[in-house]
Structure 1
Amino acid sequence: MKKIFSFVFFFLIFFTISAQKSKGASNNSIPSESNFWSDYPNEELADFLISKMSDEELLAQIFMFGWAGEEPSALLNQWVLDRGLGSVKVFGWNTDNTEKVAKSISMLQQEAQSRHLQIPLFVATDQEGGWIRHVKGDTTETPGNMAIGASQYPIDAYYSAYYISREIKALGINMNFAPTVDLYTNRDSSVINVRSFGEDAEFVGQLGSAFVAGSIAAGVIPTAKHFPGHGDTSSDSHVKLPGVYIDWEQAEKRELVPYKYLIAQNIPAIMSGHLLYPRIEQDPVSLSRGWLHDILREKLGFKGLVITDDMMMTGAWGYAGSSSEAFKRAIEAGNDIILSSRTAELDERLWTMNLSNIRSNPNFREIVTTAARRVVLSKLNYFKGGNAAPLYPEIARLKEQIPDREGQKFFLSQACRSITLYKKGTFPLQNNGGKILIVGPSDIAQGVESPFFIEAKKRYEGADSYKINYDGLGPIGIDWNGNQLEYMAGNYDTIIFYVPNEEGAAIAKRLKNCGKRVIILSALAPIPVMSGFDFADTILLGYSYSNFTYQALFAALAGEFEPKGTLPLN
């Protein structure tokens, strides 16, 4: 009898120990008073933290909200303090004062640290470089992705990400929604445009991989977008749901190629696009479990975070019928973080309905718990990895960190490598060939000269200026400016014309029969100057309106260096 008792006793002890090991941190191996910063293996600690979270905390951990003013609203503070919001997003409408951005981030992180588990916030932004630069203020306006594609050097992608990331990291921003690895396949796209590295899928994958490596080296989490590809549509998901009408075979050979590169590199995050590929799946990608689970995770092998694009875009809630239904479907599809540019009200249906779903639907609870654990584990790996952005930025040091001094030198050299001589005529242009008229953007502020003209006058001192506000010209504005320039052209030998868009190209084409030397300096997408300009003497492509690009364009035109950039489009 004693032997049987001993055997049973031993078996119970063995079973208990085995059960504890199998459950890991969710049992008593980690003291109940532990928190995010406790010294335990990340996998075990993630299980422990999830086991200690309420239903509200689980759901809040997978939400990311933005705020509209210069400083976080009282509502956003409530989400962080009372519910344990997992992430926040810094949008472009609250970033002119970089010191205020840093102070706001510090305050929000302090609030997160005041909670019982002390889980820090992911703080994200869109700092792609070039055209898309949500954190403004003192940060650097860089030449951007298409300029990197034109330089043909992956090291330019690496250091662009590195210096961009160093600036936002100093502010306490730890996640960047970049790189954009959409292919520039639709020439009419006003959404992707020069945000793309180019058209070749393999090359975009290589540059995207270099960008990711630079971001990680600087200590900021990169997020590739917009999965599986936004480049083959001219529609904007802010306004409506874009359709991409290609089949699986074409998507796999083209759109998905950059993601294969990035997944092989273990990219930590990917953004799902509000995009419809009707020949592959019937639901938008961001709301499709077929895309996010079956294709992205199972077929492509992605292990990191899936983050939605802004759920306030019409492409998301308009398709789902409401924001609450869109949030629910995004969660069910397999997104780990649901992004909203608008901070939800505390009792809004997108919260109450999904909280009710957690409590009534075991499958939904499992999906939310899996997502929350993935978020928490990502935070543990990042914040305990030794190279994380500070929770509390050093306000006193911001002036020496932003703009990045090393970055300024790099971005000028990178802009020079990108300049493309698309058509060569009387080139370079010396400042001794008669009267010159320079046509360019109007002053950026009253009494402040445009950087474009500052750079122009350094090389062509005696030149006259004609300034145009290129935004929203319309047919009347195009015609009026065209008439003015046709009349003025007779007084000059050379006209240097800045073309940033289709409207600018339409005005420039009015000089077709003026009989003068016309030099075209293209900014942003080169598409408007790639046809209809046989009359132009010289065409230089710059790909952005950053000061570095202006410096490089005029330096190249004046013969200070030989432009060797390559147009990254077929």
Structure 2
Amino acid sequence: MREGAHVRDSGTGSTARPSRRSVLTATAGVTAALAAGGGAYAAAPGGTPHDDRRLRALISRMTLEEKVGQLFVMRVYGHSATAPDQADIDANLKEIGVRTAAELVAKYRVGGIIYFAWAHNTRSPQQIADLSDGIQKASLGLPRGLPVLISTDQEHGIVARVGKPATLFPGAMALGAGGSREDARTAGRVAGAELRALGIRQDYAPVADVNVNPANPVIGVRSFGADPEAVAGMVAAQVKGYQSAGVAATSKHFPGHGDTAVDSHTGFPVIGHSRELWSELDAVPFRAAIRAGIDSIMTAHIMVPALDPAGDPATLSHPILTGILRGELGYDGVVVTDSLGMEGVRTKYGDDRVPVLALKAGVDQLLNPPSLDVAWNAVLTAVRGGELTEARLDESILRILRLKSKLGLLRDAYVPDGAVERTVGTRAHLRTADRIAARTTTLLVNKDGLLPLSRRTHRNVLVVGADPASPSGSDGPPTTVLAAALTGLGFSATALSTGTAPSQATVDKAVAAAGGADAVVVGTYNVTATSAQRTLVERLVATGVPVVAVAIRNPYDVAQLPGVGAYLAAYSWTDVELRAAARVIAGAVSPTGKLPVPVQRADDPAQVLYPVGYGLSY
């Protein structure tokens, strides 16, 4: 589809974007309900007694089924609320029992919908905005219809559901390397403005986990770093940035997912921190987020015996969510689960028990259950059977409606006309992302002053290495992007993808190609002692051609690559970070990034090879 084209509504033949007149008509019922009891309703930060009276009046007119629906945030396939592609209709029927997003809202009255690129929700900016408006139109057109809180995981770096031409910023660890809270706040503000222009009003970012375990398979560069105070400062800055743009930020994953060697998507991690260590390490960024006025906090599917010896995941733990988060930390905002389809929350209980136990623990929003029908009916049955009270549901619904009120959704849920064109991927935003990225690249090794490369003596550059799946809307695989950026900076660069596990034949091909180059740039991706990537780099170094390694994910690779002439940490393989690394290699900018995590020796992990704060310049 042409960028900027409106998605057609097959039911009416008109565009999905409503006119301003239809907006006012569709929201009139909600506004009137909120204004009941006297006085005109004006959207304001939720939680005031005046506002709460109106929200409680609205809740009192909801049916039990509508209340249950408000608690759920669900995925749905398709680029359109009413006319998705047939394959997406089939996927919706198989997984959810509805054909479209509009049917999902009508059947279950869900309070939220989450967008994913793999669900084909995020093809282009205008399409996303039209999808958002279509969902709102479907929901507001129902009896007692409420606006939907649309969310996504737009962390930037290695996790971004909305790709180009939207502006993509360096991820958390890169920002941690840059060390500028102002940059973190600016990135959040700009990214938030673009999300709002797409109708996405809740972002599951920033990550507040303190990554103290180099073997962490699920957090890593999604964290700002290993120092809790530094992470706290960056988290608070991003919270303020996102929320100043009218998007709810979400700090995750409470009570802290930074010290685990198990991925909660596929297993059940156990965090062995003592209560004292948790308070001094994991809790620090969450306290900062709460002080910064965080709108929502996401739970982790992890066990922390020191906080709750019952052996339940934190998502289902009353001592952790109500006792600590609500009680000790004083948080009264929205608590959202991590995806209920993840193994970490399904290991101990069935899919019918998980949502009920989450609500009993203190959760407000139930995110993406594997079967919405099972989860929705389980909550309904628990209320009718007395295990959950309707008053308990009302507590969570009030928090959710407070947030929707604060965001202005109860006043006008639609994307303003022209917002996409004025806001998303503007030249000013793209320049801002490049300027911030330029301050994040970290130089750890520079033997004999190899960098910056000379256009005179190193003109012909071979770019090889890992090419993980490119982020949505990138200019191509990392080797291609790096080669193009270096060529644009005056070098003659060619790309040769060798992958994350190069075969012997691939290694031989790369070594042969290096024979005709003046320098080799190799992108590495989580190198281990037995990794074929390490063999590739060793063989390239043995050719005698200068080798520059660029870590395109975790910065720990340097411990496995002692022979390289230079080593840079880019912290991601997104275009903006690869372009920044290319500018450092070419000498267009001097590296100023500093390690936000320590790098241990490969032969003795108890010894630090490069400490937090290390970074060379020239």
Give TM class, smaller chain.
0.7 to 0.9
Q: Which residue of 2 aligns with 1:532?
A: 560
Separation in 2, partners of 1:125, 1:549:
22
Q: Matches of residues 59-74 of structure 1 in structure 2 within 5 Å?
A: 59-72=68-81, 74=99
Structure 1 residues 425-434 or 296-305, which shifts more? 425-434
Structure 1 residues 134-143 or 289-298, which shifts more? 134-143
State the 1:506 CA deviation.
Answer: 4.3
What SS does structure 2 have at the residue aligned with 1:119? coil
Q: Which residue of 1 aligns with 2:33?
A: 35
Matched, 1:54 2:63: yes
State the 1:335 CA deviation.
Answer: 0.3
Q: Which residue of 1 aligns with 2:194?
A: 167
Matched, 1:560 2:588: yes
State the 1:257 CA deviation.
Answer: 0.7
Matched, 1:44 2:71: no
Q: Which residue of 2 aligns with 1:85?
A: 110
Distance of aligned partners of 1:487 and 1:225 in 2 relative to their CA distance in 1, 3 Å threshold: same
Structure 1 residues 496-505 or 539-548, which shifts more? 496-505
State the 1:206 CA deviation.
Answer: 0.5
Q: Matches of residues 377-526 of structure 1 in structure 2 within 5 Å?
A: 377-383=402-408, 391-394=413-416, 396-425=418-447, 426-433=450-457, 436-440=460-464, 450-463=480-493, 465-471=494-500, 473=501, 477-502=502-527, 504-526=533-555
Structure 1 residues 86-95 or 68-77, which shifts more? 68-77
Structure 1 residues 334-343 or 244-253, which shifts more? 334-343
Distance of aligned partners of 1:106 and 1:447 in 2 relative to their CA distance in 1, 3 Å threshold: closer
Matched, 1:138 2:152: no
Distance of aligned partners of 1:331 and 1:36 in 2 relative to their CA distance in 1, 3 Å threshold: same
Gaps of 5+ in 1: 1-30
Matched, 1:123 2:147: no
State the 1:229 CA deviation.
Answer: 1.1
Separation in 1, partners of 2:585, 2:491:
14
What SS does structure 1 have at the residue aligned with 2:212? coil
Structure 1 residues 33-42 or 285-294, which shifts more? 33-42
Matched, 1:546 2:574: yes
Structure 1 residues 63-72 or 227-236, which shifts more? 63-72
State the 1:83 CA deviation.
Answer: 4.3
Separation in 1, partners of 2:76, 2:215:
32
Describe the superposition over 1:69-122 as per-residue Cα deviations: whole angstroms up to 9, x where unpaired.
333453642342244321111122221233222222111111221234342111
Of Structure 1 and Structure 2, which has the larger fraction of its residues in helix? 1
Distance of aligned partners of 1:233 and 1:448 in 2 relative to their CA distance in 1, 3 Å threshold: closer
Q: Which residue of 2 aligns with 1:219?
A: 246
Separation in 1, partners of 2:30, 2:248:
30
Separation in 1, partners of 2:274, 2:262:
19
Maintained 8 Å contact 2:463/2:520 = yes
Bigger Rg, structure 1 or 2: 1
Matched, 1:366 2:395: no
State the 1:413 CA deviation.
Answer: 0.7
Describe the superposition over 1:164-185 as per-residue Cα deviations: whole angstroms up to 9, x where unpaired.
1111110111110000111111
Q: Which residue of 2 aligns with 1:21?
A: none
After the TM superposition, which parts of structure 1 deviate over 6 Å for at least 4 consecutive aligned residues? 442-449
What SS does structure 2 have at the residue aligned with 1:324? coil
Separation in 2, partners of 1:404, 1:56:
43
Describe the superposition over 1:126-148 as per-residue Cα deviations: whole angstroms up to 9, x where unpaired.
11111111123522232111111
Separation in 1, partners of 2:127, 2:285:
36
TM-score after normalising by structure 1: 0.86
* 1:391 maps to amino acid: A
Percent of paired sites with the same residue: 26
State the 1:351 CA deviation.
Answer: 2.3
Q: Which residue of 1 aligns with 2:4?
A: none
Matched, 1:243 2:280: no
Distance of aligned partners of 1:168 and 1:447 in 2 relative to their CA distance in 1, 3 Å threshold: closer
Matched, 1:285 2:303: no
State the 1:451 CA deviation.
Answer: 2.1
Matched, 1:309 2:318: no
Separation in 2, partners of 1:378, 1:162:
18
Separation in 2, partners of 1:433, 1:174:
51
What SS does structure 2 have at the residue aligned with 1:271? strand
Q: Which residue of 2 aligns with 1:353?
A: 378
Separation in 2, partners of 1:32, 1:152:
44
Maintained 8 Å contact 2:474/2:574 = no
State the 1:403 CA deviation.
Answer: 1.0
Structure 1 residues 184-193 or 544-553, which shifts more? 544-553
Structure 1 residues 167-176 or 368-377, which shifts more? 368-377
Maintained 8 Å contact 1:65/1:89 = yes
Separation in 1, partners of 2:491, 2:213:
40
Gaps of 5+ in 2: 1-28, 42-49, 82-91, 93-98, 599-618
* 2:359 maps to amino acid: I
Maintained 8 Å contact 2:369/2:375 = no
Q: 2:128 aligns with which of 101, 105, 108?
A: 101
Distance of aligned partners of 1:362 and 1:427 in 2 relative to their CA distance in 1, 3 Å threshold: closer
State the 1:311 CA deviation.
Answer: 0.5
What SS does structure 2 have at the residue aligned with 1:323? coil
Maintained 8 Å contact 1:67/1:342 = no
State the 1:289 CA deviation.
Answer: 0.6
Distance of aligned partners of 1:398 and 1:32 in 2 relative to their CA distance in 1, 3 Å threshold: closer
Matched, 1:229 2:256: yes
Distance of aligned partners of 1:567 and 1:190 in 2 relative to their CA distance in 1, 3 Å threshold: same
Distance of aligned partners of 1:97 and 1:437 in 2 relative to their CA distance in 1, 3 Å threshold: same
Separation in 2, partners of 1:337, 1:482:
49
Separation in 1, partners of 2:369, 2:503:
35
State the 1:489 CA deviation.
Answer: 3.7
Separation in 1, partners of 2:475, 2:189:
35
How many positions carry a matched residue from both structures?
A: 527
Separation in 2, partners of 1:446, 1:141:
10
